Amino acid sequence: MQVSVISFVSSLRRSFRSCRCCSFCLTFVLLTQVGRAAPGPNGIIVQSEFGGQIFGFDIDQNGTEGVLAEAQTLDNGMVLAAVETFDQGTGQIIRVLAQTTTQGDDFLCLGVTGNSIGLIEREQVRDTFHVKRSFLTINPLSRNRFNGHWTPPIGNNHLVEFVSRNQGTKNAVWTLDLSNNFMPTVFSTDVGGNTFGPVISINDPDFSNSPDPGLAYDTVRNRAILGHAFLGNPFIPGWMATVDLAAGTFTKFRGVGVGDVNGLAYDPASDTACTTTEIDFSVSFYNIANQTGFKEPLPGATQQFFSGADVEFDPVNKLFLVAQEHSSTSATGSSIHVYDISGNLIESLNGFDFSNAFNVIPAHIAIKPSARTGFIDGPDAGVTQLQGFNY
């Protein structure tokens, strides 16, 4: 390591010989490059307190804590479910906020929303066909206790499928009506204020049929950004769409990716969306205003086995992080690939082990842009752990 640093410094000095402010430039580059933590897994592991499978998690981008829900079926057939906060720096559980042992009640972590607000769904099983759903808030997450409710303007027969992962502003919510027609709806919300925009039904068959679409929220224009496979023929390019969450206007255009949209993230400043699609094992980049896009296979990917999964956007460093369950840049395990908003591959992070095979909640990336750190599911095959990383 000492030799490589010395060589790096020498090359920098040669590069800056003609610069009048070379001392300042050299110091700046050294601080930003040499001082940057090594990209990849950083050794921090979060273990669920009771050894249950993690039913969703997130981290506070403006704080030091994270939150997860877990559940496991006990030997007597009862279900132990819990909600816990954890320390981002050490991975240690800070506090168990709730714990139940019942015939089938669950907690699901829907994410950290707005300004550091943890959002948890509680499912209480009344009988085979009756599940009561309520939504608890931890505001702010650092209080480590439930202190409020979120009451979306939907009936108990609706499932909250997604809450967008942007923090510091409002969020978009995608729900599914289980009563008879399985009609999806989307709306905006200020979780902290418990306020909501109009509930908008999605009637377009390309987006109202399973599986659920990719979802992101445009914080500038108050729009939902959606992506979906082509109905009836997933082997041709699918669709992208926007939904004005005030007026309800739905607009769609043909995409470039082929197959189900496994992940979608969005940068409102550049109006750029990034998706992963299943069949063509590709990552796509779209200019939403121009309704244009391009795609490329994930690095080293040659078949559907190497398809990408979740995508998250870092608004500070202007990066898209793409999860890949089966790595195409390492002989084993999983990877996270980092792209800029122009679609250039910046780095591939290897050494992970996450899977969607047995997950109740699909694996996803949670990031803290200011520190260039994050967490993702794994490496335990039982989905009882989270793994920290730098990028």
> Is position 190 within any domain?
yes
Q: Give the per-residue pLDDT at 247.
A: 98
29 and 174 belong to one structural domain: no
- Residue 167 tokens, joined: 């923090």
> Is position 270 within any domain?
yes
Determine if residue 387 is left, alpha or beta; phi over 0 gives left, psi from -120 to 50 gives alpha, anything else beta. beta
Q: Give the per-residue pLDDT at 25.
A: 41
| Dist. CA 264–CA 240, nearest whole Å | 10
> Is position 134 within any domain?
no
Q: Give the per-residue pLDDT at 140.
A: 98
Specify the number of domains making up the chain.
Answer: 2
Q: What is the pLDDT of residues 215-261, one digit of tens each?
A: 999 999 999 999 999 999 999 999 999 999 999 999 999 999 999 99
| Dist. CA 223–CA 63, nearest whole Å | 27
Residue of 17 and 319 predicted with greater confidence: 319
Q: Examine the pLDDT at 141 and tell me if it is beyond 60.
A: yes
> Is position 372 within any domain?
no
**Residue 289: HSE in the Cβ half-sphere, 13 Å Cα cutoff:** 7
| Dist. CA 233–CA 238, nearest whole Å | 9
275: domain CATH number is: 2.130.10.10
| Dist. CA 315–CA 91, nearest whole Å | 24
Q: Examine the pLDDT at 351 and tell me if it is beyond 90.
A: yes
Q: Examine the pLDDT at 162 and tell me if it is beyond 70.
A: yes
Q: Give the per-residue pLDDT at 180.
A: 74
| Dist. CA 356–CA 363, nearest whole Å | 6
Q: Examine the pLDDT at 348 and tell me if it is beyond 80.
A: yes
pLDDT band at 8, cuts 50/70/90?
very low
- Residue 211 tokens, joined: 């599986």
Q: Give the per-residue pLDDT at 32.
A: 46
Q: Give the per-residue pLDDT at 35.
A: 63
**Average pLDDT, stretch 127-156?**
93
31 and 166 belong to one structural domain: no
> Is position 71 within any domain?
no
Residue of 289 and 21 predicted with greater confidence: 289
Q: Examine the pLDDT at 7 and tell me if it is beyond 70.
A: no
For residue 283, the enclosing domain spans 162-352
DSSP of 96-119: EEEEEEESS-EEEEEEEETTTEEE
> Is position 298 within any domain?
yes
Amino acid type, 290: N
Q: What is the pLDDT of residues 10-55, one digit of tens each?
A: 333 333 333 434 433 433 343 445 567 999 999 999 999 999 999 9
Q: Give the per-residue pLDDT at 357.
A: 83
| Dist. CA 222–CA 231, nearest whole Å | 27
**Average pLDDT, stretch 146-170?**
95
> Is position 197 within any domain?
yes
Instruction: Give 256's contacts (C-beta < 8 A, 6+ positions apart).
Output: 237, 284, 286, 293, 294, 295
Q: Give the per-residue pLDDT at 156.
A: 85
pLDDT band at 130, cuts 50/70/90?
confident
> Is position 102 within any domain?
no
Q: Give the per-residue pLDDT at 179.
A: 84
